[in-house]
């Protein structure tokens, strides 16, 4: 397996390996500190970033390499050079390439042309690094993954998709509650449903947040507003997603030991109340910290050819 473009690139064994590696890198951050010695990893960011930018830079540094952050105005793409040509050139200098952009097609084109591993650090359709960190966080807190149910509430976009796919590969139950217009993509639902059933898990789609949260170990949400949403869409989202706000009343439908998770950044008072995200049941900032060992594990596994994928 050369690249990680989405969670569905992984097998169940691959995901388990990444979680084991991440745990190891938490305990011994510098244990593979010479893997990227004297090598660079370009990080192309077409979108603003806090956690992804910093955690990826730190992961590269922990593996002994030098991260090089590049924005869209710093390459020749806007002067007509193709993405494939850019990928071939970058790959001749680098050990791997990390890209955070909009269209999934752009990441696939980059990966097809690049001779080195490519990692999707977020697109409109996927957020695989976040999902690995999420499962790492759940495993740390509860000691295991199986037997636990995740309830995801809000917009069924990239975070929901990757989380749903990862939960399915781990044999977990996941309930996704969204307004009908904001449900996850049908192909993602089909994939997750099939993988979950193979491993003893279950995928539930509903428009009822209380139904999703019932008996959940984890209540998870994401921001309602995406970068670049037009004003009309923003107004619509605020209205139709309001019933999916996570507050104490909704958390009371979950298990007594349920935790709250959020990939951040958070808009307090919109998708979650301040009392929930800043309270004792919130793991949001543990998730953020876990982006570092999760990303370190992904880079290490790709660079050492440890992942099988669907070869």
Mean pLDDT (whole number) for 272-301:
98
Is residue 106 part of the annotated active site? The answer reads no
Q: What is the pLDDT of residue 215?
A: 97
Is residue 257 part of the annotated active site? The answer reads no
pLDDT tens sequence across 161-210: 999 999 999 999 999 999 999 999 999 999 999 999 999 999 999 999 99
Q: Tell me the C-alpha distance between 147 and 85, whole Å.
A: 47
DSSP string, 87-128: HHHHHHHBS-EEEE-S-HHHHHHHHHH-SS-EEE---SS--H
Is residue 222 part of the annotated active site? The answer reads yes
Q: What is the pLDDT of residue 77?
A: 87
Mean pLDDT (whole number) for 282-294:
98
Looking at the chain, which residues constitute the CATH 3.40.50.1370 domain(s)?
7-126+290-303, 130-288
Question: Closest Cα to residue 119, out of 174, 43, 14, 30?
Answer: 43
305, containing H or E segment: none
On whether the CB atoms of residues 41 and 67 are closer than 8 A, the answer is: yes
Q: List Cα–Cα distances, 214 to 79, 128, 151, in angstroms.
A: 53, 26, 8
Q: What is the pLDDT of residue 227?
A: 63
**Catalytic residue (one of 51, 62, 100, 149):** 100
**Catalytic residue (one of 130, 155, 161, 237):** 130
Q: What is the pLDDT of residue 118?
A: 98
Q: What is the pLDDT of residue 225?
A: 87
Q: For all residues of the chain together, what is the average pLDDT?
A: 96
- As a whole-number percent, the residues of the chain with pLDDT over 90 amount to 94
Q: Please provide the CATH number assigned to the domain covering 130-288.
A: 3.40.50.1370
Q: What is the pLDDT of residue 63?
A: 98
Mean pLDDT (whole number) for 134-159:
98
pLDDT tens sequence across 46-80: 999 999 999 999 999 999 999 999 998 999 988 89
Looking at domain 7-126+290-303, which CATH architecture does it have? 3-Layer(aba) Sandwich (3.40)
Find the angle CA(25)-CA(30)-CA(31) to the nearest 5 degrees: 70
Q: What is the pLDDT of residue 234?
A: 87
**Catalytic residue (one of 155, 222, 287, 296):** 222
Q: What is the pLDDT of residue 268?
A: 98
Q: What is the pTM of this model?
A: 0.97
Is residue 291 part of the annotated active site? The answer reads yes
**Catalytic residue (one of 237, 263, 287, 296):** 263
**Catalytic residue (one of 51, 126, 127, 161):** 127
- As a whole-number percent, the residues of the chain with pLDDT over 70 amount to 99
**Catalytic residue (one of 62, 237, 245, 291):** 291
């Amino acid at each position: 397996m050369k690249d990680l473009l989405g969670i569905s690139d992984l097998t169940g064994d691959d995901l388990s390996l990444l979680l084991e590696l991440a745990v190891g890198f938490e305990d011994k951050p510098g244990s593979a500190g010479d893997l990227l010695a004297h090598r660079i990893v370009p990080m192309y960011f077409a979108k603003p970033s806090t956690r992804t930018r910093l955690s990826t830079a730190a992961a590269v540094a922990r593996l002994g390499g030098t991260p090089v952050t590049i924005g869209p105005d710093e390459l020749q793409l806007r002067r007509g050079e193709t993405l494939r040509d850019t990928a071939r050139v970058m790959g001749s200098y680098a050990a791997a390439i990390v890209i955070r952009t909009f269209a999934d097609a752009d990441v696939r084109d980059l990966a097809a042309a690049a001779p080195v591993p490519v990692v999707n650090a977020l697109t409109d359709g996927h957020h695989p690094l976040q999902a690995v960190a999420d499962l790492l966080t759940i495993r740390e807190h509860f000691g295991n993954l199986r037997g636990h149910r995740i309830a995801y509430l809000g917009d069924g976009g990239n975070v929901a998709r990757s989380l749903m796919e990862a939960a399915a590969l781990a044999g977990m139950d996941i309930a996704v509650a969204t307004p009908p217009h904001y449900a996850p993509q049908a192909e993602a639902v089909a994939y997750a449903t099939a993988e979950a059933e193979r491993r003893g898990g279950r995928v539930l789609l509903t428009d009822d947040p209380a139904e999703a949260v019932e008996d959940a170990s984890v209540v998870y949400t994401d921001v309602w507003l995406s970068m670049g949403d037009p004003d009309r869409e923003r107004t619509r989202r605020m209205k139709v997603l309001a019933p999916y706000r996570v507050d104490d009343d909704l958390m009371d439908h979950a298990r007594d030991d349920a935790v709250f998770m959020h990939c951040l950044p958070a808009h307090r008072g919109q998708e979650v109340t301040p009392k929930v995200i800043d309270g004792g049941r919130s793991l949001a900032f543990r998730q953020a910290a876990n982006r570092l060992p999760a990303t370190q594990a992904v880079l290490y596994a790709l660079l050492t050819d440890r992942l099988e994928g669907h070869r």
